[in-house]
């Protein structure tokens, strides 16, 4: 899998591009954060974050991390998380379901 997205979905302060679907419930996407991804959680989904470019701040649960290229994090279901900065994050999603994102910030 090459980190060379064919297209991006603009979501305001960040964009996403699905790079590879292993199944309908397991896939890899690249997220380009251009400011922030607000606080949210997933009831069923597990995510693995790999910072591939840039730096910023990642919050997972009660912990806050200053992140840079090469850092890897696990975010289990039901865990509130957010990210700020100018960075690209490879996200592996496991047990994905549509409408499983619960946003806490308006």
pLDDT at 106 over 70: no
* Residues contacting residue 102 through CB under 8 Å, at least 6 positions apart: 40, 41, 42, 43
For residues 66 and 59, what is the distance between their CA atoms, to the nearest angstrom?
Answer: 9
- CATH placement of domain 17-97: 2.60.120.10
pLDDT digits over 13-63, tens only? 999 999 999 999 999 999 999 999 999 999 999 999 999 999 999 999 999
Please report the pLDDT score of residue 3 as a whole number. Answer: 74
Average pLDDT over residues 89-96: 97
For residues 33 and 88, what is the distance between their CA atoms, to the nearest angstrom?
Answer: 6
pLDDT digits over 75-91, tens only? 999 999 999 999 999 99
pLDDT at 72 over 90: yes
Please report the pLDDT score of residue 89 as a whole number. Answer: 97
For residues 33 and 67, what is the distance between their CA atoms, to the nearest angstrom?
Answer: 13
User: Is the model more confident about 106 or about 22?
Assistant: 22
Phi, psi of 87 (to 5 degrees): -155, 165
Mapped to the 3 state alphabet, what secondary structure does 31-90 carry? EEEEEEEEEEEECCCEEEEEEEEEEEEEEECCEEEEEECCCEEEECCCCCEEEEEEEEEE
pLDDT digits over 2-19, tens only? 777 889 999 999 999 999
The domain locations on the chain are 17-97
């Amino acid at each position: 899998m090459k980190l060379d997205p064919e297209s991006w979905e603009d979501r305001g302060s960040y964009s996403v591009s699905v790079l590879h679907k292993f199944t309908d419930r397991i896939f890899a996407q690249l997220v380009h954060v251009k400011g922030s991804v607000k606080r949210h959680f997933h009831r069923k989904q597990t995510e693995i974050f790999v910072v591939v470019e840039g730096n910023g701040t990642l919050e997972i649960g009660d912990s806050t991390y200053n992140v840079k290229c090469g850092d890897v994090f696990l975010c289990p279901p039901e865990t509130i998380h957010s990210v700020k900065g100018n960075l690209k994050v490879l996200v592996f999603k496991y047990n994905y379901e549509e409408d499983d994102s619960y946003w806490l910030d308006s």
